[in-house]
């Protein structure tokens, strides 16, 4: 079961600001940064896979998610301080044990509890090469943020030193094909930059809310929750976990071009939603796909087109319950799009619910909170009962 405390821990990341000792022209938020990191990790791993290396994708996903949780707990420790602390392995072990003890009571799923504990306390739980990919993605996403800081603080304290250090770090990963391409500003950099700019797009932009949430942070919330929800299903195969996580991560990718259009606007005029879909597809094909490697396109389309349909193989639509009964095996390439739609709606519910809890309310937020929860009352998709998500959040 996914507890309220665990969900609130994840949602807390929308309130954690980064680089808060520097002048920032825009807020730089922990969950946004971590989402960008996981998109970059996907890119780096894909290049290595294309080059013939076997990638342990489950380790990429677990390493990303559990490091995300760890950094939420230790958010008060600045990166330079943490890097120095990391040189003391015994101290890090004690710190990780403290993190586990703090989070353990909010985790009711024993498999998740074991995974998180192993990630924190077993040095080689994530294989060396997958750790290297995640670390490289972490460094590049930090450098991406730093460029914003640098331009706002051209003569700021330690700016030059930070740039040299980050540059040295990135160069140490230049043996990775993807990092080499990013540093040489090849086409894939356009894709990484465009994804990074989703942090500028505020959801519910016409309404005052606390905390404000970006499209980039929203998709990380959906992807993270999709992992934990999928693990609640009976023996979900690895490809299903992979598709649900990266499907969650990329499902709003077209909004990099069209921006976040709220549901009342989409539904206001008959045919409006279909026309927006057509424009999204047209813009995506013109501006996003050319930046990606050709052999990645089918998978990205699988995640971004009909993203809330339950699918197998090359996009064949099936009924949600058929995944459990017939297609829960890697060879079928199962994707729980209908389940993901519920998680996406739950993320929107959390955004409204949280703001109301902070005392920033409006008729639109109240209506959204109530209608979403009521729509999923006792609803079961692919064997998952949404009451597990909604029941502890009162109307």
Question: Quick one: three-class SS letters along 15-78?
Answer: HCECCCCCCCCCCCEHHHHHHHHHHHHHHHHHHHHHCCCCCCHHHHHHHHHHHHHHHHHCCCCC
Q: How far is CA 327 from the centre of its chain?
A: 25
When pLDDT is cut at 50, 70 and 90, the band that residue 21 belongs to is: confident
pLDDT tens-digit map of 357-390: 999 999 999 999 999 999 999 999 999 999 999 9
Predicted confidence at residue 268, as pLDDT, reads 57
Q: What is the pLDDT of residue 161?
A: 93
Statement: residue 231 has pLDDT above 60: yes
Count of H-run helices and E-run strands, the chain: 20, 5
pLDDT in tens, 62-88: 999 999 999 999 987 767 777 777 778
Phi, psi of 335 (to 5 degrees): -140, 120
Q: Flag the least confident range among 239-243, 270-274, 343-347.
A: 270-274
- List the domains of the chain with CATH numbers: 4-184 (1.10.3210.10), 215-390 (1.10.3210.10)
For residues 30-55, average pLDDT: 98
Across the chain, mean pLDDT equals 92
pLDDT in tens, 279-320: 878 888 888 999 999 999 999 999 999 999 999 998 999 999
Q: What is the pTM of this model?
A: 0.94
Q: Does the pLDDT of residue 176 top 90, yes or no?
A: yes
C-alpha dihedral over 363, 366, 371, 374, to 10 degrees?
Answer: -150
How does pLDDT run across 115-155, given as a tens digit for each residue? 999 999 998 999 999 999 999 999 999 999 999 999 998 88
Averaged pLDDT, 206-230: 96
């Amino acid at each position: 079961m996914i507890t309220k405390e665990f969900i609130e821990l994840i949602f807390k990341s929308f309130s954690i600001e980064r680089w808060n000792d520097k002048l920032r022209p825009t807020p730089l938020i922990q969950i946004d940064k971590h989402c960008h990191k996981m998109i970059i990790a996907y890119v780096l791993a894909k290049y290595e896979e294309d080059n013939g290396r076997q990638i342990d994708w489950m380790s990429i996903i677990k390493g990303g998610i559990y490091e995300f949780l760890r950094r939420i707990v230790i958010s008060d420790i600045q990166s330079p301080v943490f890097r120095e602390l990391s040189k003391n392995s015994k101290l890090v072990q004690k710190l990780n044990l403290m993190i586990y003890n703090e989070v353990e009571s909010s985790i009711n799923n024993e498999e998740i509890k074991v995974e998180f504990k192993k990630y924190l306390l077993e040095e080689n739980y994530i294989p060396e090469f997958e750790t290297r990919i995640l670390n490289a993605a972490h460094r590049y996403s930090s450098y991406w943020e730093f460029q914003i800081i640098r331009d706002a603080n051209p003569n700021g304290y330690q700016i030059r030193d930070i740039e040299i250090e980050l540059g040295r770090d990135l160069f140490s990963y230049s043996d990775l094909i993807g990092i080499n391409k990013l540093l040489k500003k090849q086409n894939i950099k356009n894709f990484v930059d465009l994804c990074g700019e989703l942090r500028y797009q505020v959801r519910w932009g016409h309404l005052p809310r606390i905390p404000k949430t970006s499209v980039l942070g929203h998709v990380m919330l959906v992807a993270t929750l999709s992992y934990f929800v999928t693990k609640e299903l009976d023996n979900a195969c690895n490809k299903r976990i992979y598709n649900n996580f990266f499907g969650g991560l990329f499902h709003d990718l077209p909004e990099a071009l069209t921006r976040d259009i709220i549901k009342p606007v989409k539904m206001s005029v008959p045919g409006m939603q279909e026309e927006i879909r057509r424009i999204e597809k047209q813009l995506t094909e013109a501006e996003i796909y050319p930046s990606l490697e050709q052999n990645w396109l089918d998978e990205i389309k699988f995640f971004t087109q009909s993203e809330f349909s339950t699918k197998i193989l090359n996009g064949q639509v099936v009924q949600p319950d058929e995944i459990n009964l017939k297609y829960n095996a890697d060879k079928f390439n199962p994707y729980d799009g209908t389940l993901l739609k519920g998680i996406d709606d739950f993320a929107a519910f959390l955004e409204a619910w949280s703001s109301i809890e902070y005392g920033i309310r409006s008729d639109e937020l109240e209506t959204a909170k109530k209608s979403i929860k009521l729509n999923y009352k006792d609803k079961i998709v692919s064997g998952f009962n949404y009451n597990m998500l909604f029941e502890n959040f009162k109307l």
